[in-house]
Structure 1
């Protein structure tokens, strides 16, 4: 009776399994990283640029992250104006952020950290398009 040759696993099968594992691992990493910053495709606003010339930023969309300092004004039909402290490497910058009435369901509290997608309006005020606690 003749003996059968020992069968080895083809290298292409091993390569395929490793490739599938890497694709799944990469997809999982992307999925879990996705929750960290929902505005990662939006440019971060540099406070120094804003204070240097806010008019040059009009109409642009940015993201900011900071701590609510104070409520400055409120109008039930229009919305609420807050000051938010945005930290950079060198210092903390107080900036105005207007929360329109459409976002009134968000309960902003003093000394809480928030991340927002904002548009610089015609008067240079940051108007929140989206905001969430960070």
Structure 2
């Protein structure tokens, strides 16, 4: 009687499949991390250059990712002034959020992506805002 060869799972195949699964998970995470930023095409604000001379950046559009610290002021027609801690540094920036965003519930400790424009006298005016 002829014996059949037993087919067992080669350990190299199992290791290869596990490595492919780990690579797919890591690749998906990296893709999500990069694609989740809605303002990824904008230049990040150079905070040190802004703090040194805000007028040199006037008129330019940047992105800032940060955590809301406190609401500094509010005017119904102008908007709200918030202090925001920038993620890439330990500096706090004043951001003026126009009245068109008054319907948003912005609370202390929340993280946001901000599309900002450096306005007259170095005021950081928010053009768009998205929650992280």
Q: Report the number of matched residues.
A: 103
Runs of 4+ in 1 over 2 A off after TM superposition: 31-35
Q: Kindly provide the CA deviation profile for residues 5-62 of structure 1, in whole angstroms up to 9, marking residues without a partner as x.
A: xxxxxxxxxxxxxxxxxxxxxxxx7x95674111011100011111011010000000
Per the TM alignment, residue 97 of structure 1 is displaced from its structure 2 partner at its CA by: 0.2
Root-mean-square deviation (CA), in Å? Answer: 1.7
Query: Kindly tell me: are residues 33 and 84 of structure 1, through their superposed partners in 2, closer, same or farther at Cα, counting changes over 3 Å?
Result: closer
- Structure 1 distance, partners of 2:95, 2:84, is 7
Question: 1:1-134 counterparts in 2 under 5 A?
Answer: 35-88=35-88, 91-134=89-132
Task: Give the TM-score of the pair, scaled to structure 2.
Answer: 0.72
The Cα of 1:87 is off from its aligned counterpart by 2.9
Unpaired runs of at least 5, structure 1: 1-28
Matched position secondary structure for 1:107: coil
Partner of 1:26: none
Q: Is the partner of 1:68 in helix, strand or coil?
A: strand
